[in-house]
Chains A and B, each alone.
Chain A
Amino acid sequence: MTVTSQEELAAAIRDTSGPLRIQGGGTRPYGRPVIGEVLSTAGLSGVTLYDPGALTIVVKTGTPVAEVEETLAKSGQRLAFEPMDHRALLRTDGTPTIGGVVAGNISGPRRIAVGACRDFLLGVTFVDGSGTLIKNGGRVMKNVTGYDLVKLMCGSHGTLGVMTEVALKVLPIAATEATLALRGLDPTTAIKAMAAALGSPFDVTGVAHDGDETLFRLEGFADSVAYRTGKLSALLAPFGTAKAVADSAARWQDIRDAKALSTAPGDIWRISVRPSEAAALVTAIGATDTLFDWGGGLVWAAVPPGTDVRRHMTGGHATLIRGTSDGPHFHPEPAPVAAITQGLRDRFDPRGILNPGLMT
């Protein structure tokens, strides 16, 4: 099923008995597989409004991410949360859409410095499971008018409603970037080095450890980047000699897309934890390949098929991104939280037709 307007979408949802599998570009098929008719948002496409002087863009959800990024780049701006492209890791093709990014709260390495997709989402229009069109938020950077359903929709994977339009805050593209690398640190030491950088005033906008190298990104005006590169090298001296890498942009794109794990065998998990717990956790779960982003707060781990990494966790959450599992793909919630979640689903999708079961 393809729709070309929000009115058509609302009518389609009202008229169906479901279940529906909501799809943008179909490049991020994780979560429990949904059996249902495909409802594509690809026909809802285009930039509705772009106001560079207000750092905001309003786009229909089926718009390709690449088109949004091209539009912004013409005015020297970008999606600062650096959304990941899942195609290499999940071996999918297709065209990633902005709706898919928002539905999954998809962010990249810069999340640690500037915030996640949910922090840049200013407004949403969506159709709920009853076919009612609902708006929340707006297109301004500060808005506390009523409850924040914007954040609720971000990361809801199409289970509460089908988004038709989103308003996003954007930021200027940095004039230059540079990346420093330390070599040969074990995960525990690497996380300490990353914490030192994040605890410094030098505004690092990426901190990752790929098992071999620990990388630190600095962005901004040229003189400022040069100055901070010097300062950060000195700060990191106890961990080794930090060397500048030649291909900074390409390296961070690989980290963003967890490319190092794309050829790894086994199941792939995405784990959000306190950085101080990350190193012990990867040992406990018997990870065969790992990538630490966000200073250790985000762990990509390859594990033998069937491993449930959550048995070893005391905090945070983990999602099975690639692999098959009879257990939950999303992190089970404690009873009071699960009750609230279920209550929200019952209210926003009373017939249980929108991506049913995906987030379990």
Chain B
Amino acid sequence: MQMPEPSARIIGLKSQLVERFRAVLPADAVISDLAETRAYECDGLAAYKCPPLLAVLPASTQEVSEVLKICHEMGVPVVPRGSGTSLAGGAMPTADSVILGVARLNQVLETSYEDRLIRVQSGRTNLSVTGAVEANGFFYAPDPSSQLACAIAGNIAMNSGGAHCLKYGVTTNNLMGVTMVMMDGTVTEIGGGHLDAGGLDLLGVICGSEGQLGVVTEATLRILAKPEGARPILMGFDSAEVAGQCVSDIIKAGVLPVAIEYMDKLCIEVCEAHAQAGYPLCEALLIVEVEGSPAEIDEQLALIKDIANRHNPVELREARDADEAGRIWLGRKSAFGAMGQVNDYMCLDGTVPVSKLPEVLRRIGELSRAYGLDVGNVFHAGDGNMHPLILYNANKPGDLETCEALGADILKLCVDVGGCLTGEHGVGIEKRDLMRVQYSPEDLEAQMRIKDIFDPNWLLNPAKVFPLDASAPRRDAA
């Protein structure tokens, strides 16, 4: 992975930066020792590592503003970091950058059940937002797999999704407002406790901008009433195509499950060995979850079972109680962890039109054989957000490169059938150089114009999202 050559000028500013940061932050919020900056050398895309020049941990919007003013004035790149769970390298530093971690910004600022919102500091973890309101029967809907650890700041940066976004949408559909600090230290409020924008929808652009437009320190999030209940059903099929067709038929029938998850045989086997969820060892497995009162759930599941039965399932298992429901979800939720224990893998995130799932699964199989690397598939089928897991051996020379080449071909396939490179993980550094597969030079130029306005000197998370050579003139000019 190519990154820009670190600037010797900036590296030479280290002691000066430490001194200036210490003037505006508590001593323990400025991390300069190499042994400690290593903790920030990578995120969830652990194949690439580089310790930052420094890391700072501000605890208020004001402190974030002070830090950014200093970096702006001295021309130092800043890499914002939530909890560091990005799978795309969104929080990976360079040797000449300052990591700005928001972990200390973790307070709940306001909860209003009448207005159905919660205002939190952005370092708060996703799951703890729900934790703050669930006693009152509410929840925060986006539920990325990393929800125990990931921060709202990172969720906003990457516009994170999750298993249940088929019904509830992703972060951008549940975000009402932010307090954001611009690179020059200006504090802005965008959106708030009301719905939709009065002028241009800047909030819509900020969400998913991968920490390149500003540092979000506070967020107003929509909270929803918890459904009366939810119940998953598990179905097994003897071919991927049939399972894909079943997904499309369920959607066409007018039922709207909250989640439709897909897992192939390779993933089923690994998950079974790891979690003993009691999955059938078949070619393709679907977990479909519906919500409502017990009677409503029965009604919806009856419809879904009817559809499934037309596709001759090898297994059809409805959860009878919370324990069985938990077991059905257990394997799916531990899938990535389980795969990681048996093999090195690279997780892709392309999205395709749901109607193209059978074709894409078949062609991924062909590519897998052509490259000689196994690919497991576990993903959100209801919205076509695929997560092919390419297995490789990190200790075998050349294997990572082969894996990346296969990954690129799979993502090109996703775009070819009308889909996109990334559905919920973000571009980061990982898919940066594939952006031209999806976008024309004019399309990329239009996006880069946005950054020009928010961050004219291209100091925030600079060498990400756009192909390096596309962003170079702007980064070099700054």
Contact = CB atoms under 8 A, between A and B. Distances in A.
Given A144-B423, A146-B439, A148-B208, A118 B114 contact: no
B225 interface: yes
B189 A142 contact: no
Nearest to A161: B446
B44 interface: no
- A151, A175, A297, A334 pick with most chain B CB within 10 angstroms: A151
Interface in A13-61: 51-56
B427 to A, nearest CB: 6
A336 interface: yes
A192 B201 CA distance: 29
Interface string A107-146: 1000110011011000000001000111110111111111
Contacts of A223: 295-296, 299
B182 interface: yes
A91 interface: no
A115 B172 CA distance: 11
B303 to A, nearest CB: 8
Nearest to B351: A140
A238 interface: no
B80 interface: no
Interface residues of B, number: 95
B199 A54 contact: no
Interface stretch (B11-19, B251-259, B322-330): B251-259
A190 to B, nearest CB: 13
A199 B418 contact: no
Nearest to B88: A144
A337 B204 contact: no
Contacts of B450: 147, 149, 152, 344, 347
Contacts of A273: 193-194
A336 B423 contact: no
A216 interface: no
- A146, A231, A330, A340 pick with most chain B CB within 10 angstroms: A146
A97 interface: no
Interface string A317-360: 11100000000001101101100110110011000000000010
B209 A141 contact: no
A115 to B, nearest CB: 5
Interface string B279-323: 000000000000011011001100000000000000000000000
A340 B453 CA distance: 7
A145 B438 contact: yes
B121 interface: no
B205 A143 contact: no
A171 B256 contact: yes
A175 B439 CA distance: 40
Given A53-B248, A317-B194, A139 B188 contact: no
A149 to B, nearest CB: 6
A191 B419 CA distance: 42
Interface size class of A (residues with CB under 8 A): 35 or more
A155 B353 CA distance: 26
A76 interface: yes
Interface stretch (B53-61, B157-165, B367-375): B157-165
B415 to A, nearest CB: 8
B454 A340 contact: yes
Given A105-B201, A152-B200, A155-B200, A54 B208 contact: no
B228 A146 contact: no
Given A138-B418, A340-B453, A54 B354 contact: yes
A138 B419 contact: yes
B397 interface: no
Given A55-B354, A344-B450, A146 B196 contact: no
A198 interface: yes
B225 A315 contact: no
Contacts of B439: 135, 145-146
A152 B199 contact: no
Contacts of A315: 192-194
Given A142-B380, A149-B447, A199-B113, A272 B186 contact: no
B465 interface: yes
B10 interface: no
A294 interface: yes
A140 B447 contact: no
A207 B184 CA distance: 43
B83 interface: no
Contact of A143 (B201, B292, B420): B420
B112 A276 contact: yes
B437 to A, nearest CB: 10
A30 to B, nearest CB: 13
A154 B197 CA distance: 10
A156 interface: yes
A160 B299 contact: no
A175 to B, nearest CB: 7
Contact of B420 (A140, A154, A192, A319): A140
B225 A344 contact: no
B169 interface: yes
Contacts of A318: 198
Contact of B190 (A53, A107, A272, A337): A337
A316 interface: yes
Contact of A140 (B198, B249, B423): B423
Interface string A157-189: 000100000000001110100000000000000
B2 interface: no
Interface in A77-127: 105, 107, 111-112, 115-116, 118-119
B464 to A, nearest CB: 11
A195 B442 contact: no
Interface in B378-404: 380, 383-385
Nearest to A313: B194
Nearest to B353: A54
A53 B251 contact: yes
A118 B204 contact: yes
B84 interface: no
Given A145-B427, A195-B113, A53 B355 contact: yes
29 contacts: A76-B254, A105-B196, A112-B195, A118-B201, A135-B439, A136-B446, A140-B420, A140-B423, A144-B208, A144-B424, A145-B422, A145-B427, A146-B443, A147-B447, A148-B208, A149-B447, A151-B203, A221-B296, A221-B300, A224-B299, A272-B198, A274-B192, A275-B114, A316-B192, A316-B194, A317-B194, A337-B189, A341-B202, A344-B453
Interface of B: 112-116, 137-138, 158-159, 161, 165-166, 169-170, 172-173, 182, 186-190, 192-205, 207-209, 225-228, 248-249, 251-256, 292-293, 295-296, 299-300, 351-356, 380, 383-385, 418-427, 431, 435, 438-440, 442-444, 446-447, 449-454, 465-466
